[in-house]
Amino acid sequence: MELISPLIIMNNTSSLYVNFLRLNGRRYLILAGLSIALLASLWLDLIAGPAGLSAGQILSGLLDPETLELRYRIILWDVRLPDALIALAVGGALGLSGIETQTVLDNPLASPFTLGISSAAVLGASFAIIVEPVIPFVPSYAILPTLALCGALASSAIVLVVVRVSKGSRGMVVLFGIAMFFLCDALASGFHLIADADAAQQIVFWAIGNLTKAGWLEVTIVSLCLLLIFPFSMRQVWVLTLLRGGEDHARSTGVNIAGLRTWVIVRASILAAFAVCFVGTIGFVGLVGPHIARMLLGEDHRTLLPGSILCGALILSLASALSKTLIPGVIVPVGILTAVVGVPMFLSLLFKKKGQF
């Protein structure tokens, strides 16, 4: 009697289970599609540039650096590859940071930047450019990112204090983040006033955001940051998903909302701070990457978190490729192009979904 026919097993398996599996399967396919798109855009980003390297040379140079002339090897391995990879790392970090902030503050406009993190980084960078301070044990080229990082982390620390004091009230956190944004912006403007033309331009250039100053060290730091934080985010996917059902429901399930907000904002701030301190404020990715992922993948954070990383990385990578090809011989700062790439992607999805998301 232990023989169970396959038919009975089929009947025992609930149709809800089958439908749910199918839905999840479709989402994993979308993730796979996004990964392929990301590889393609990485490739586009690598072959774009003024040096006249052919696609074949790049491929063989990647597989075996020795086949390239020294000049080309340096261009590929020390310029293009780190630039292309930092686009992925920064885009991914901002995507993850953005989706977690949006979910936990239940605010579609929330992003690392509405928490005041970017403007604090600009403030730190402006200080570094104008005052040119000397910090012991920090080499001069690292002073700007260090100060930008300090600014970003300091503002996150203040936001965290607000989270604790307000017992995790999301309205307070969003409002305070915006207040921080204006405060840092005003202080940074003060620096711009006393800056000479050269320094002022440097600040503007930094504030727009560009990837070309990044090397392997920066790539390593941002990637490590993302790789270290991602598992912690994935451990909370269930709680984050159920939080989308509303705060009251989450609380009745025993979720400690203030604690959850604290942890998520710690994670999101660290990610955003490290992401922007090397490349400037590429703010838009952290806002729109998550929304694109949400529209493609729905609200289940098991797929939404990786999807948001992929979307953020994809936008920034495409923008980076475009920044080198748009005007021949000129590299347009990528911060300008993220919006140019992101908005059409965003709008096309929005119209396809008829505003329902």
252 near another protein, rule: CB under 8 A: yes
254 near another protein, rule: CB under 8 A: yes
In this structure, are residues 150 and 124 in contact, taking their beta carbons and an 8 Å threshold? yes
Q: Which stretch binds another protein (CB under 8 A): 123-131, 141-149, 183-191, 238-246?
A: 238-246
Q: Cα 332 vs. chain centroid, distance in angstroms? A: 20
Token readout for 308 is: 């948001």
CA separation (Å) from 225 to 47, 79, 197, 346? 27, 22, 35, 27
**Cα–Cα distance measured from residue 141 to residue 66, given in angstroms and rounded to the nearest whole number:** 30
Name which of 50 and 171 has its Cβ closer to another protein. 171
CA separation (Å) from 110 to 64, 98, 179, 204, 223? 44, 7, 13, 24, 23
107 near another protein, rule: CB under 8 A: no
Note every long-range contact of 256-259, with CB atoms under 8 Å and residues 24 or more positions apart, other chains counting. Answer: 257/168, 258/163, 258/164, 258/167, 258/168, 259/168
238 near another protein, rule: CB under 8 A: yes
Report the nearest approach of another protein to the CB of residue 26 (Å).
11
Name which of 294 and 324 has its Cβ closer to another protein. 294
61 near another protein, rule: CB under 8 A: no
Cβ-based neighbours of 52, under 8 Å, separated by 6 or more? none
Q: Which stretch binds another protein (CB under 8 A): 18-26, 48-56, 145-153, 268-276?
A: 18-26
300 near another protein, rule: CB under 8 A: yes
Name which of 164 and 353 has its Cβ closer to another protein. 353
Quick one: which of 242, 326, 332, 339 contacts another protein (CB under 8 A)? 242
Q: Which residues bind another protein (CB under 8 A)?
A: 13-17, 19-20, 23, 106, 237-239, 241-242, 244-246, 248-249, 251-255, 294, 298-301, 356-357
